[in-house]
Amino acid sequence: MKRRFNITGSCNPERHYMVDTEKRFDAVKDLIDKGEYFTINRARQYGKTTTLNLIWKRMSEQYIVVPLSFEGIDDSAFASHEAFVKMFARQMARKLSSFNKEGDWSTMWSESTLSNLDDLSALITEFCQKAPKPVIVTIDEVDKSSDNQLFLNFLGMLRNKYLERDREGMESTFHSVVLAGVYDIKNLKLKLRPDAERKYNSPWNIAADFNVDMTFHPDEIAQMLQDYENDEHTGMDLKAMGEEIYKYTSGYPYLVSAICKLIDERLDKEWTAEGVQKAVKIIAKGENVTLLDDLSKNLESIPELRDFLYSMVVNGQEYTYTFVDPMVKLTNMFSYIKENQRGKTMIHNLIFEEALFVYFGNKTMREQGIRISPYLLNYVQNGKLNMEHVVTRFRDLMHEEYRESTVPFLEKEGRLLFLTFLKSIINGIGFYYVEPQTRDNRRMDLVVTYDKQEFIVELKIWHGDKYEEKGRDQLSGYLATRGMDEGYLVTFDFSKDKQDAEPQWMEWNGKRIFEVVV
């Protein structure tokens, strides 16, 4: 069977192109061998289920591995303790019958008559003492039930049995329990639900920390592409492609695989930087991308999260990367942010950043009644983007809107509106991203690509003549680092002190800079 890139369900190396998981799995195996209970809590489509499947596949010789899942469990299973323990026993019986060949250990569960958690606890002890090997239980999608008191009581029972192992013996309960889900069961207070009380205590505080890096690094992406190249012989530059895909995804497993799948199946195997950009643009539209659907839902349903991300994306605010701050911990749990080299927060990847810019830009225009449709006014001629015309036209439109608007504009919103305006022009062919090292509440360097063209646009808030010159210095310096001779400086000054300044080209530190004031 021909292998393919997979973005749905778990991955199988016999059917799918995958990164080498040995190092990650060794860390998981070490926790299990030590008899630890732990939770693999990672964002959506981050490889959790694939990891659980590897536990079953690779550790079944040494252990009895029982892979359970709480996804799709009917609400009636949580109606009473009796209903819950019977549901759990049915799952145990079914999985033992299907996946374990050393004797029929399923009958102990299928023929049980359980009515409460005490009965279940006794059966677990009996089963583990009679089993020929230590027993591992993995439970996928646990956060689907983590706000249910019955489930918390069940975890509390497992916790008590774990704590009694020193007295009763390791075989008195499961050797290891591995839970998987987005939310960290050790800290249920992070599950923000408008319709439910927040929970501050968790019965799962015995769990070991799971600090395994599950992101895909450039060399690992290149290794996966090498397997593909051995089959397809495209002649791609493996190292360059690994780095290019990582640049846009920061190694988010789903996004890496989605880009590869699009290039292979929809973009005529265009394994180039341009091909990666085309795939990124398809993903960023969000059509049938559950990852971005979840982002949109969380932005709408969790106001604290929306405000936090707005302050980062639009205002250029950085926060100390510490889990003492609940919002840092929450957004990190969803993998919307990560830690930069200075110990501060940054948006996890360029695709998420693109989606957030579009979301906040559209929201701002709706709320303020702004019309900045660019129309088709010769922004592109003979396949070339005229950036001088783009920034000049944006200035003119904003002056028109500002004069008519009764809502006061903020300079930072102006930057957001420029990105929205720009996207409507380059959409389908071009791409932009903010250089993370230059993002702050005064300055933002934008890298814009259009076909094979590249432009640098600095968006700056007016803070006086001294800072204006500093902005030119910063832009010319940044142009030098990228080996470019021309750049564009868009300065926002809604105080109207500088709005009458005409757009102009100027020489600055050996570079040509086109400056407009909005």
- Assess whether 181 and 249 both reside in one domain: no
- Residue 359 included in any domain: no
Q: Which residues of the chain have pLDDT under 50?
A: 189-200, 406
CATH number at residue 39: 3.40.50.300
- Assess whether 403 and 499 both reside in one domain: yes
Q: Please give the tally of structural domains in the chain.
A: 3
Q: Among 236, 254, 284, give the residue marking a domain's end.
A: 284
Q: What is the pLDDT of residue 189?
A: 45
Strand order in 38-41's β-sheet?
38-41, 176-181, 135-140, 64-69
Token pair listed for 237: 């530059």
Q: What is the pLDDT of residue 135?
A: 96
- Assess whether 263 and 373 both reside in one domain: no
Contact (Cβ atoms closer than 8 angstroms) between residue 77 and residue 91: no
- Assess whether 505 and 386 both reside in one domain: yes
Residue with tokens 């643009």: 281
- Assess whether 80 and 38 both reside in one domain: yes
Q: Among 190, 210, 234, give the residue marking a domain's end.
A: 190
Q: At 277, give phi and psi (nearest 5°).
A: -60, -40
- Assess whether 171 and 31 both reside in one domain: yes
- Residue 253 included in any domain: yes
Q: Among 269, 284, 299, give the residue marking a domain's end.
A: 284
**Number of alpha carbons in the 13 Å side-chain half-sphere of residue 367:** 11
Residue type, 83: A
- Assess whether 178 and 76 both reside in one domain: yes
- Residue 6 included in any domain: no
Q: Give kind and range of the element (H or E) at residue 279.
A: helix 273-284
- Residue 173 included in any domain: yes
- Residue 490 included in any domain: yes
- Assess whether 413 and 458 both reside in one domain: yes
- Residue 208 included in any domain: no
Phi-psi region of 41 (alpha: psi -120 to 50; beta: other; left: phi over 0): beta
Q: Give kind and range of the element (H or E) at residue 424.
A: helix 411-426
- Residue 321 included in any domain: no
Q: What is the pLDDT of residue 194?
A: 44
- Assess whether 387 and 508 both reside in one domain: yes
Q: Give kind and range of the element (H or E) at residue 405.
A: none
372: exposed, middle or buried (Cβ count in 10 Å: 0-12, 13-18, 19+): middle
Q: What is the pLDDT of residue 191?
A: 45
Q: What is the pLDDT of residue 199?
A: 47
Q: Which domain holds residue 120?
A: 22-190
Beta strands in 123-259 (DSSP E): 135-140, 176-181
- Residue 292 included in any domain: no
- Assess whether 131 and 58 both reside in one domain: yes
- Assess whether 53 and 185 both reside in one domain: yes
Q: What is the pLDDT of residue 243?
A: 98
CA distance 444 to 312: 12
- Assess whether 175 and 223 both reside in one domain: no
